[in-house]
Amino acid sequence: MGVLSTSIKPNFLGLLKFLNSFNWFIVFFSLINLSVCIYEDQIGKFDWRQTYVGRIKFSQFDTVSTAKKIIVATEENVLAALNLKTGQVVWRHVLESASTGNIQLLHVTDKVVTVSGANPYLVRGWDSTTGVLLWEWSLMLQKDDHAEFSEWWVQHGMLVHMLPVFGSHLEVSMYNLMTGQNRGSTSKLPAIWTNEGCVLSPPYYSCISGSMGSLLLLSLDVTSNAVQIISKPLSQFISTEESSLRPLDANSIQPGFVIGDKKIVLIKNNEFEMLGISVADESASVALVDSTNGPMVLQTWTDDIKGFSLIAHSASTGKEVTEVRCSDPSLRLPEPELAAVICSKTPRELHACRLLVTAADDSLHLMQQAGRVLWTREEALANVVAVEFVDLPVSDLDAAIESEFDQKEAAKMYSSVWAAFSRRLQTQFQQLQTLLQSLQGAETNARDTSTGLVRDYFNLHKIIVLVTDVGKIFGMDNLSGAILWQHYEPSLDPSGAAVFTRRSARHPPHDAYLTIVGKHEETGNGLIISLNPIRGTLVGERSLQLDVQLLQCALLHRADQEKLHALLLLDRDENVQIFPVSAAPLVENMFIYVAEKNTARVQGYALKYDGRSVVAQKTWSLSLGGSEAGHRIVASSAKPASERTHSAGRVLGDRSVLYKYTNPNLVLFVTEGPDAIHKDVVVATCVDAVSGAVIASAAVRRARALPLAVHSDNFLAYVYYNDKHRRTEIGTMELYEGKQRWLEAGAAFSSLRASRAPAVYRAAYVLPAAPRAAAVTHTERSLTDKHVLFALSTGAIVELPWAYLEPRRPVTPTPEHREEGLIPYAPELPLPAEAVINYNRTLHRVSAIYTAPSGLESTSLVLATGLDLFYTRVAPSKTFDLLKDDFDYYLITLVLGALLLATYSTKYFASRKMLKMAWK
């Protein structure tokens, strides 16, 4: 009967146990069948992927092929073609992220030519319509002392490489573009006048040189056979001595440059020619483009008052071209730069231009001549640093109902039964009203966007707040992936930024409140940005720059009167700042730890309110690498702050319970350091962040740690590369109190009064792949099975049940193990293709995976960031609390109706039969 009872258990593991009692081979196959994969018609139903290319470095219009495209090469070492009409990626090549993939040159004719890498350089030709690699040859420089100053361009079918040695000479080599054959030997041009401020405007190399007071403007055509230096005193062009050179933007048609951010000088027939057009703004981006009426000078900049501005002049006459003009105060492009411009001839002799404009916030805009934006790409999203999932507010009606049933509120307001009764009637009247409104027409609701953003029944609809490396913050709808709001903070350096939801949206009338703690880009001091995550408007402290550098930040666990959780900041001088200051008396039993990455020292502080202010007292310090230098913390992982564990233990085969050790203050540190005997050692240490006590630890010899660690509930895992066996392995630990509880159920756990050590189970498995990111699924009550998500270098995200990583997997299973549902030990982890949650949508360079609980216990929301964004939802124990997508409502209605019909008809027939019987 025991076997039967377990088989009836509704969950997946129960089924496993049942099957396991026969043969574990069946278990294996059943797992494959039950693993998470989707049907073909579900593609894109719960997930979306957005592909990005990164900040644009080079761009050129592809006008040769029939389908108009823009070819771009980016800072992320991506070569891609964008559709001119929509901005979608047509094809994309992701090169190596290291300097070997660094793109030095993009040249587009009928083919796309790139030079990438850093000595050896790779010259590649690509087909512009399909992106197929056509040819490739490599180039190795003999000396690479000054290789970083190399300049490349293509001239008359030859690839020119110029290597300036400042103050000495220029080395110019020319190669056949297709084959790499060297035309002649490298020519050395003497040029003692060169310096680091020189600019290249192919084929001219121009410098400002000479002593102060007698500065000369010098230019040299480096490809011509005869060395002809054009030289003019600088005072002929510009009056001020303070001068700088910068080249023209957007692949200008003639060699030229801007002097001192004021004057435009072109080089024509080996002569300088100063244009009569002055640069409109110091920061203006200047480009010289071809148009129907001869060359045209385009300028664009952002004015504080006028906003985005664009003007154009004819280069020959200096007259302003009125068709190409824009001044849009609503368009805010920080530091716009013309990346590529094309002006085509229309039958009516009008200028029809397409301008590709990049901005300092990494966005890419395609504009028409009048400044109308055709499409925008937010390339900042290719570098996401921090992510937070934010709940949406409940609708007004739901809020009213909630406040009605809120215990405290109710006690305050409705002291009498009659008051409560009238309130109930009122709410019901409101409900009726909304029902009538919704019947009248849904359009009225759709007009107001804020009403659209309300929580759905299962809390699956959220807003994802993304903080990007460039300092731009986005609010994104998680169901559609649409950007709802954006906020650009140029001074934010978000490396290591922390995002806190200080007030969720479930406390009407208060709005949600989100704070980002980062660094100031220049000073490194703390920078706090507080905003409303639903609307994207700054609230509270707004954008606040502190005057000290920060060590650590934390959220106070107790909310103040306005349901706002205060922000605690520990600065470098170990002083504590609290926002808002009025919350200081709430600080009690608050502990903070600071881990120094490079020295592996971890320190703990106790925060206390002493009547006037909050003070931090250092209470513990550890040195995770011992006294030796060279140890560093590679990864640290605390439990998610919102985690609630509702399952206290595991039921064993003999019906006893193994209780989990769920210390909420536990932090996992993975350190790595040199060792005298074993080369490198990786040490995983679990530290109680309140008392500083080491709870468990494990050392791996001859291994290097990967910055991947997951920690949830009572288990933790860390990934390392085993140098001895040359493979990636994963070490796992589980902590248990034992078969008896240490504390009564529901009793508060105190780190300071716990001196017992938990039982630690450890195991290691081979991970037959190269992981880039890892995360563990996160559900509201932690009742659902936990799965670990690994983003692999192959571009897949694999979902692996924790049951496979469990350290308690027995090598030789006993019937009791089988009964419990433990999978027998196998050293290698299975990574079946069915477990890939992003099916065939390859994700390049995944940097992190973020998970968040939804309102459904079965479902966890997942966002993978990297070059691409991928969002999906996973159900580790299947959607046990939700009807299937393909649930046949028709059939069940039909069956019910038929049954009802049958019941009544049989009743009728039965009565007739009874009547007949009576007559007999």
Partner 1 sequence: MNYKLTIIFFLKVLHLSMGIDYDGWLNIKMEHSLNCENGKYCNRGTISIKSIRTGTSVIDQITFGRTHIDELKELAEMDGFYSIRTICTSADNKETEFLSSVKAQDFLNSGLSDVISAWVLPSGAVMAINFQVDNSSQALVLGSNNYKIHSNFYLRYVEQAPVPDTASYIQKLEREREAREKGELKDNRSFLAKYWMYIVPIAIFVMISGATNPEQAPQGAR
Which residues contact partner 1 by CB under 8 A? 3-4, 603, 606, 608, 617-628, 675-678, 681, 683-685, 687, 691-694, 697-701, 722, 729, 731, 752-755, 762-766, 811-812, 825-828
CA dist., res. 837 & res. 829, Å (int): 17
- CA 86 to chain CA centroid, nearest Å: 23
Distance CA 330, CA 845 (A): 35
How far is Cα 513 from Cα 567, in angstroms, rounded to an integer?
11
Q: Which of 804, 634, 597 lies closest to 708, judged by CA? A: 634
Residue 150 vs 691, nearer CB to partner 1:
691
Find out whether the peptide bond into 674 is cis, omega within 30 degrees of 0.
no
Query: Max CA-CA distance within the chain?
Result: 134
SS (H, E, C) 352-407: EEEEEEECCCCEEEEEECCCCEEEEEEHHHHCEEEEEEEECCCCHHHHHHHHHHCH
34 vs 699 by CB, closer to partner 1: 699
Nearer to partner 1, 38 or 606 (CB): 606
* Nearer to partner 1 (CB atom), residue 84 or residue 584: 584
In what helix (H) or strand (E) does residue 80 lie, and over which residues does it extend?
strand 78-83
| CB atoms near residue 101 (< 10 Å) | 18
Judged by beta carbon, residue 75 or residue 675, the one nearer partner 1 is 675
CB of 699 to partner 1, least distance (A): 5
Least separation in angstroms between residue 692's CB and partner 1 is 6
Report DSSP letters for 425-494, one per residue.
HHHHHHHHHHHHHHHH-SHHHHHSHHHHS---TTS--EEEEEEETTSEEEEEETTT--EEEEEE-TTEEE
Do 51 and 92 form a contact (C-beta atoms < 8 A)?
yes
Query: Which of 529, 624 has the CB closer to partner 1?
Result: 624
Contact 846, 864 (CB under 8 A): yes
Q: State in angstroms the smallest separation of the CB of 719 from partner 1.
A: 12
Choose between 306 and 618: whose C-beta lies nearer to partner 1: 618
Give least dist CB 827 to partner 1, A: 4
- What's the closest the beta carbon of residue 681 comes to partner 1, in angstroms? 7
CB of 586 to partner 1, least distance (A): 16
Q: How far is the CB of 330 from partner 1 (least distance, A)?
A: 57
Q: Which is nearer to partner 1, 144 or 610 (CB)?
A: 610
Query: Which CB atom, from 69 or from 809, has the smaller least distance to partner 1?
Result: 809
Name which of 68 and 704 has its Cβ closer to partner 1.
704
Cβ 718 to partner 1, closest distance in Å?
A: 9
**Residues whose CB is less than 8 angstroms from the CB of residue 177 and which lie 6 or more positions away in sequence, other chains included:** 113, 123, 125, 154, 157, 158, 159
For residue 484, list its beta bridge partners: none
The minimum distance between CB 813 and partner 1, in angstroms, equals: 10
Cα separation, 612 vs 467, in Å, equals: 35
Order of strands, sheet of 846-853, starting from the edge strand that comes earlier in the sequence: 48-51, 868-874, 860-866, 846-853
538-545/550-559 β-pairing: unpaired
Taking CA atoms, 445 is separated from 434, 440, 448, 452, 829, in Å, by: 11, 10, 6, 7, 51
**Tokens (6 digits) for 876:** 């580790």
**Of 682 and 843, which has the nearer Cβ to partner 1?**
682
Nearest approach in angstroms of CB 481 to partner 1 is 39
Bridging pattern class, strands 133-139 and 121-127: antiparallel
Q: Find residue 475's DSSP bridge partners.
A: 465, 485
Q: Are 864 and 848 in contact (CB under 8 A)?
A: yes
Place of tokens 């590649």: 124
CA 128, 129, 135, 137 torsion-angle sign: positive
Residue whose CB is less far from partner 1, 61 or 620: 620
- Looking at the Cβ atoms of 562 and 828, the one nearer to partner 1 is 828
Report the distance separating Cα 401 and Cα 450, nearest Å.
Answer: 20
CB of 685 to partner 1, least distance (A): 7
Closer to partner 1 by CB, 59 or 671: give it.
671
Contact assessment for residue 691 and residue 620, using Cβ atoms and an 8 Å cutoff: yes
Pick 638 or 694: Cβ nearer partner 1: 694
Closest separation in Å from C-beta 800 to partner 1: 15
Q: Which is nearer to partner 1, 724 or 781 (CB)?
A: 724
CA angle 549, 552, 554 (to 5 degrees): 130
Provide the minimum distance between the beta carbon of 621 and partner 1 in the complex, in angstroms, as a whole number.
4
Nearest distance in Å: CB 480, partner 1:
43
- Nearest approach in angstroms of CB 23 to partner 1 is 11
| Cβ atoms of 580 and 552 closer than 8 Å | no
CB of 760 to partner 1, least distance (A): 9
- Asked if 61 and 354 touch (Cβ cutoff 8 Å), the reply is yes
Residue with Cβ nearer partner 1 (261 or 723): 723
- 3-class SS letters over 772-797: EEEEECCCCCCCCCCEEEEEECCCCE
Closest approach, Cβ 541 to partner 1, in A, equals 30
Give the 3-state secondary structure of residue 11: coil
User: 416 or 755, CB closer to partner 1?
Assistant: 755
Task: Report the chain's terminal Cα–Cα distance, integer Å.
Answer: 52
CB of 829 to partner 1, least distance (A): 9
Residue 565, both tokens: 């959780």
CA distance 180 to 188: 20
Strand partners, 303: 307
For 100, phi then psi, to 5°, come to -65, -20
3-state SS assignment for residue 855:
coil
